[in-house]
Structure 1
Amino acid sequence: MSDTTVLPDLDRAVAFTIPAQHARGRMARLGPVLDAILAAHNYPAAIERLLAESLTLTALLGTLLKDAAGQLTLQAQTRGGIVSLMVCDYQDGALRGYVQFDAERLGEVGDNPSLYALFGQGHLAITFDQATSGERYQGIVPLDGDSVAAAAESYFLQSEQIPSLIRLALGKGPDGRHVAGGLFLQHLPEGEEGRERLHVRLDHPEWERVAALGGTMGGDELADPMLSLETLVWRLFNEESEVRLLAETRLGKGCRCDGTYIAQVLAKFPLAERLEMADENGVITVDCAFCSTKFPVVASEIADAA
């Protein structure tokens, strides 16, 4: 008798292309990695939702990188907003993120604040760093619309002239833990690499079909860990003549800080400044915003090594 047990499909992303429709896509779903990142901060529910969606978006966009050493950074910043700063990044499947916010003002706007209530006149910056080639691409767009997904769609349309569709969803697994899922579709006039994007809506109306199909994907499906990502791709595009599944990416929590790295950063400061940073015991304590871990470093040891 064969074992037909279905295991949760979590902490993974898959890539695919639809050649006849000149489109590519990504699907991602986060589970334990999301819990691990959120558990380090004890955020209110509204901030947890914001960071969970943003981490899912980061996973989707990060898998566009062909350079394993490359890095994708998603940063939202405001002046005077409830959220003053949000940073998420991706490198070779590793995710991390944090949010700085005004807890008192957050308590005044209720449990389900709008994107505008959180960010006001904020902006979203998306940066692709290609480590091997040294190339760096960045686009900045207003945090308009009703979601982080809508702002990211605007980024691709305005910065790269690529029509895109992004769907993000949150839910709970059978064990009651966080689950987040996402879908990312893009029009590519000539395969995975694409070409110049001018007037793509007029040149290639088949994108409207792909976007319409993607729009039927329900949030409950995206955030259901018992549905594999490949199953969701098939549900959307099973009538297409060909859908090519590409590489999968395993996702994990990836804060890159440690005591050695912190000491190397501090060593770049002049000795006088390092001594000013130290407490009465001569220890500099560095708090990592991503993982909420404190790293004590003896100032005299840094000075000796500098």
Structure 2
Amino acid sequence: MTNTAPTTDFDRAVGFTIPARHTRGRVTRLGPALDEILAAHAYPPVIERLLAEALTLAALLGSTLKDAQGQLTLQAQTQGGIVNLLVCDYKNGDLRGYVQFDALRLSQLGKNPSLFALFNKGHLAVTFDQPATNERYQGIVPLDTASLAEAAQSYFLQSEQIPTVVRLGAQRDKESGKWIAGGLFLQHLPEGEAGRERLHARMDHPEWEHVEALGSTMGVDELADPSIPLETLVWRLFNEEEEVRILAASPLANNCRCDGDYITQVLSKFPEEERAEMADENGVITVDCAFCSSKFSIHLSDFVPPAL
């Protein structure tokens, strides 16, 4: 395994396989891209950490898509939770995300509230859209686990019956004070994919138990340390394996993809009287993007009147 990673390793996802263990994996670390997303909002630290971990999960899962135009969306909703909505998505290396929450109720909690304290009776929806094949997959799992990572593991176990390890972590850089987040994703491949009989898949296969045990030792300090190349993290975990194949890295970036023309098209579908109610005294409709906080000002005169 040749190390070709940068000295300071940010905003990449690196895939790998361990053929003898019938395992595939991803490791990622977010830095500047994460900081740009968080900077668009004035979230308290608890929410920043939550969103950082969710974006890391989106990067891990989204980077497995083979369709360049494919999209991975994570959406967590609650019933009576302090966090009532969390949305993240990934498309061709671009990440975005936002959180809606009750600031007053959040202020009454401690510094490290549990996932249940934030979401109460909530659920996590994981959606894979692949336009090239016109396929859409969605799985929903309850947020009754201790972490988002465990919820993701439950998704793959329930929806696809694939044993999975997910490790997520976020912490502030000691020098810059900015958030850095990292994640590890491991899966025991369906046996049919490895040339074996899929019907004989086992959740307690010895080769998977070995990989699972190693992956579970990965800590936040390593995942969020930019001085450790991602390839080195893989080597630290699996250096005793006879072969580890490193795949091409996927660059990651903050890109909201909000578009003024698209917003105008959406507003044009509303009746003229409803658009008039949305507008201010100057005839301007202001639309805020929940993802990046960009503001779009659309004048009523921009809408073409329907043909007679």
Q: TM-score range by the shorter chain?
A: over 0.9
Deviation for aligned residue 1:264:
1.7
Between the aligned partners of 1:166 and 1:38, the Cα distance in structure 2 is 23
CA distance in 2, matches of 1:134, 1:177: 39
> Contact (CA 8 Å) 2:191, 2:197: kept in 1 or not?
no
Number of the residue aligned with 1:45 = 45
1:272 matches 2:273 = yes
Q: Would the aligned equivalents of 2:88 and 2:98 in 1 still touch at CA under 8 Å?
A: yes
Query: How far apart, CA to CA, are the structure 2 residues paired with 1:119 and 1:266?
Result: 32
Amino acid of the residue matched to residue 110 of structure 2?
A: G
- Find the counterpart in structure 2 of residue 299 from structure 1: 300
1:14-38 C-alpha deviation (Å, 9 max, x unpaired): 0011111001000000000010000
Q: How far apart are the structure 2 equivalents of 1:150 and 1:59?
A: 16
Q: What TM-score does the superposition give when structure 1 sets the normalisation length?
A: 0.94
Cross-structure match for 2:26: 26
CA 1:132–1:170: 2 relative to 1, 3 Å: same
Q: How far apart are residue 266 of structure 1 and its match?
A: 1.3
Aligned to 2:54: 54
Question: What is the percentage of aligned positions where both structures have the same residue?
Answer: 70
| Separation of aligned partners in 2, 1:110 and 1:167 | 24
Correspondence for 1:166: 166
3-state DSSP of counterpart to 1:99: strand
What SS is found at the alignment partner of 1:227? coil
Kept in 1, the 8 Å contact 2:41–2:293? The answer is yes
SS in 1 for 2:186: strand
* C-alpha distance after superposition, 1:226-256 (max 9, x if no partner): 0000000011111111111112110000101
Alignment match, 1:140: 140
Distance change >3 Å, CA 202–CA 147, structure 1 → 2 = closer
Superposition pairs of residues 53-72 of structure 1, within 5 angstroms: 53-72=53-72
Structure 1 residue 192: deviation in Å? 6.1
Q: 1:268 to 1:192 in 2, by over 3 A?
A: farther
Alpha-carbon distance, 1:203 to partner: 7.4
The structural deviation recorded for 1:7 is: 2.8
TM-superposed CA distance for 1:158, in Å, is 0.4
- Specify the alignment match of 2:239 in structure 1: 238
Match of 2:3 in 1: none
8 Å CA contact 2:58–2:73 kept in 1: the answer is yes
Work out whether 1:149 is the aligned partner of 2:168: no
Query: Deviations along 1:118-141, whole A, 9 cap, x unmatched?
Result: 000100000000011110000000
Alignment of 1:187 onto 2:168: no
1:32-62 deviation line (CA, Å, top 9, x unaligned): 0010000101101110010000000000000
Aligned mates of 2:124, 2:194 — CA distance in 1: 25
1:127 counterpart letter in structure 2: T
Q: Which residue of 2 aligns with 1:3?
A: none
Q: Bigger CA drift: 173-182 or 16-25?
A: 173-182
Equivalent positions of 1:76-95 (< 5 A) are 76-95=76-95
Mapped contact 1:19–1:191 kept (Cα < 8 A): no
How big is each residue's C-alpha offset from its partner over 1:184-203, in whole Å with a ceiling of 9 and x where there is no partner? 00010448678886563357
Return the offset for 1:269: 2.0
For 1:112, the equivalent position in structure 2 comes to: 112
Change in 2 beyond 3 A, CA 1:282/1:141: same
After TM superposition, list the pairs within 5 Å mapping 1:242-261 onto structure 2: 242-261=243-262
- Would you say the 8 A contact 2:125–2:138 is kept in 1? yes
Matched, 1:36 2:49: no
CA distance in 2, matches of 1:181, 1:68: 23
The alignment partner of 1:28 has SS state of strand
Distance 1:251 1:177, change over 3 A: same
**RMSD over aligned Cα atoms:** 2.0
In 2 relative to 1, CA 67–202 (structure 1 residues): closer, same or farther, beyond 3 Å? closer
